[in-house]
Structure 1
């Protein structure tokens, strides 16, 4: 006798498909944001490139041309840091949304498995205590393992975020130093 009815199986499949589409939509939204950022960056880069070429061509002598080119390095570095920050924010937000959805799905699945185990244990025939204990132990071990992986993933994300912030701050400070020296 199967512990699942056809209606329960169909409901579980419907729920899984719904979650799959939700995850796909979240990933697609992140990809769309990244694409929009790249298009905006490309448009700005082309516009600035045109302005820079015109400024270089407008120079009356070689010194003015080199001065115009020399003024480009600082804004380019700052823009690269800003771009990297935007990419990181998009990736981080998308990852957080995906993690939240997966975690909610896992918690629901864990509740369903625990309910199944509880029902199985309650209706188990006499003499199957070892099997029910093994089943309960397996479910507890799986839950503990998942929690360990989840904690490690959160810690890794926090370390990556801290490293990115530190790198961005260093790059900003390094870019500010030449500007302060010129002033």
Structure 2
């Protein structure tokens, strides 16, 4: 019974490694966006704080000081909400990209596995029909269990994204 060739095995391992690093790269792109957002937010915050401090020093009455403080509190709340909306967008985008990439890779892996086992079963020696039937049943059950686990994980990921989106909309609506 001929099995997979060494070249096929090496090619499959290379494909899996490339797929894994593709996921890492997608996650890292999201991380880079978060870092860039934080750098920009920090830069803007420093500039705004300097302007507010300069204005606070020149305030001549308590009423003007409290007006400035109230205005800054409202502006800070709006900026904080905008910041978290950006974080949510980045995380949702990265999560969607990772989910889409994972789906493609899992589909390809399942397709290749099925083709491998079908080829293996087709080339089984005569008289091994009972063993082949047992293996098919076992692999079918494993495939079904894997599909169920995959669907549950996909559903949980989608629900998490929906919860984050709903929380963002709730916070935005209260503002």
Q: TM-score range by the shorter chain?
A: 0.7 to 0.9
Corresponding residue for 2:141? 141
Q: In 1, distance between residues paired with 2:171 and 2:22?
A: 37
Alignment of 1:74 onto 2:55: no
Aligned Cα RMSD in Å?
2.1
1:100-115 equivalences under 5 Å are: 100-115=100-115
CA distance in 2, matches of 1:165, 1:115: 40
Deviations 1:94-138 (A, max 9, x none): 122122222222212111211121122222234433432332233
Q: 1:2 offset after TM fit, Å?
A: 6.0
Alpha carbons of structure 1 residues 173 and 123: separation in structure 2 relative to 1, 3 Å:
closer
Runs of 4+ aligned structure 1 residues displaced above 4 Å come to none
Instruction: Identify unmatched segments of 5+ residues in structure 1.
Output: 176-183
1:34, distance to aligned residue in structure 2 (A):
0.9
Q: Quote how far apart the aligned CAs of 1:67 are.
A: 1.5
What is the CA–CA distance in structure 2 between the aligned matches of 1:78 and 1:130, rounded to whole Å?
69
Which segment is superposed worse, 58-67 or 160-169?
A: 160-169
Greater alpha carbon shift after TM alignment, 120-129 vs 51-60: 120-129
Residue 120, structure 1, aligned to residue 146, structure 2: no
State how 1:19-98 maps to structure 2 within 5 Å.
19-98=19-98
Q: Cα–Cα, structure 1 residues 92 and 144, in superposed 2: closer, same or farther, change >3 Å?
A: farther
Question: C-alpha distance in 1, partners of 2:82/2:12?
Answer: 44
Q: Specify the alignment match of 2:173 in structure 1.
A: 173
Greater relative CO, 1 or 2 (CA 8 Å, sep 6+): 2
Whole-Å separation in 1 of the counterparts to 2:67 and 2:13 = 66
The one-character-per-residue Cα deviations of 1:19-52 (angstroms, maximum 9, x if unpaired) are 2332222122111111111111111111111122
Q: For structure 2, which runs of at least 5 residues remain unmatched after alignment?
A: none
Residues 2 and 42 (structure 1 numbering): CA distance in 2 closer, same or farther, change over 3 Å? farther
What TM-score do the two structures reach when normalised by structure 1?
0.82
